[in-house]
Amino acid sequence: MKLRHSTAIAVLLLSSFVLAAPPKIISEFSGKVIGVSDGDTIKVLVGKETITVRLEAIDAPEKGQSYGDKSKKALSDAVFGKNVTVKKTGIDRYGRSLGFVVVGPTEANAKMIEDGWAWHYKEYNNEERLAKLEEAARKAKRGLWADDKPLPPWEYRARQRAPQVESKAAAASGQYWLNTSSNVRHNEKCEHFQKTKKGRLCERSEGKPCGICGG
Ligand SMILES: [Zn+2]
């Protein structure tokens, strides 16, 4: 019985290692959570030092995004004011500590995915257990999965960066703006260029030309 049990564990460990090696824990520290920035970033007071921790393996909606507030609140409910242990996996490019945040028996990273308040950040983590938690949350429409197609934060961030690039490109090359409500096209000299409530950059062949600027 004991042997069979340990064999099963060995097989499990081996297969999970082969399929999806979890990130290596490089160190561990404990402290009190004194701040929650959003659904994936917290501040932990360790002695007299405040350490910013970016939760490993998850990506939560940004502040300006749908569910950004609820995601932040969910993480806050789970960890704020509590003593946590951070299992550090590294440092990200902003100098924040990356890690798994553990409160009592609960790992906050997994819980955020399980409750539907964060994505499993598959670009940086391939753990099967976390992929499964997201799958279950999606099926049950928990948290942000109540939406049919919630916008992943990494796509949101890419879109936030994109408009500036587009404007510069437009100024340099001479482009057109389509009012997507009226289907009227404006050229870049027009006062309506990039000023309509709804719209996007477009080709000369799209929409109807503006009566004033000629499109
Ligand atoms: Zn116009």
pLDDT of residue 21: 77
Same structural domain for residues 32 and 134? yes
Determine which one of 49, 56, 93, 96 is catalytic.
96
pLDDT of residue 45: 98
Q: Is residue 103 part of a domain?
A: yes
Cα(176) to ligand 1 centroid in Å equals 9
Regions of the chain where pLDDT drops below 70: 1-20, 163-173
The boundaries of the domain holding residue 47 are 20-146
Cα(183) to ligand 1 centroid in Å equals 11
pLDDT of residue 1: 44
Q: Is residue 83 part of a domain?
A: yes
Same structural domain for residues 60 and 96? yes
Annotated catalytic residue 93: no
* Model pTM score: 0.68
Alpha carbon distance 178, 195 (integer Å)? 10
Same structural domain for residues 108 and 207? no
Q: What is the DSSP letter of 45?
A: E
pLDDT of residue 212: 85
Cα(198) to ligand 1 centroid in Å equals 14
Cα(167) to ligand 1 centroid in Å equals 17
CATH code (residue 31): 2.40.50.90
Cα(171) to ligand 1 centroid in Å equals 16
pLDDT of residue 8: 54
Q: Is residue 153 part of a domain?
A: no
According to DSSP, the residues that pair with 29 across neighbouring strands are 86
Determine which one of 4, 49, 54, 107 is catalytic.
54
| pLDDT tens column, 15-54 | 444 456 789 999 999 999 999 999 999 999 999 999 999 9
Q: Is residue 56 part of a domain?
A: yes
Cα(16) to ligand 1 centroid in Å equals 60
Annotated catalytic residue 62: yes
Annotated catalytic residue 129: no
Alpha carbon distance 158, 86 (integer Å)? 29
Domain count, the chain: 2
Same structural domain for residues 132 and 180? no
Same structural domain for residues 58 and 126? yes
Pick left, alpha or beta for residue 25 (phi over 0 → left; psi -120 to 50 → alpha; otherwise beta). beta
Q: Is residue 91 part of a domain?
A: yes
Same structural domain for residues 178 and 133? no
Q: Is residue 152 part of a domain?
A: no
Same structural domain for residues 137 and 191? no
Determine which one of 56, 62, 107, 134 is catalytic.
62
Alpha carbon distance 210, 148 (integer Å)? 36
Cα(213) to ligand 1 centroid in Å equals 4
Check the CA dihedral 91-94-100-102 and report its sign.
Answer: positive
Contact 193, 175 (CB under 8 A): no
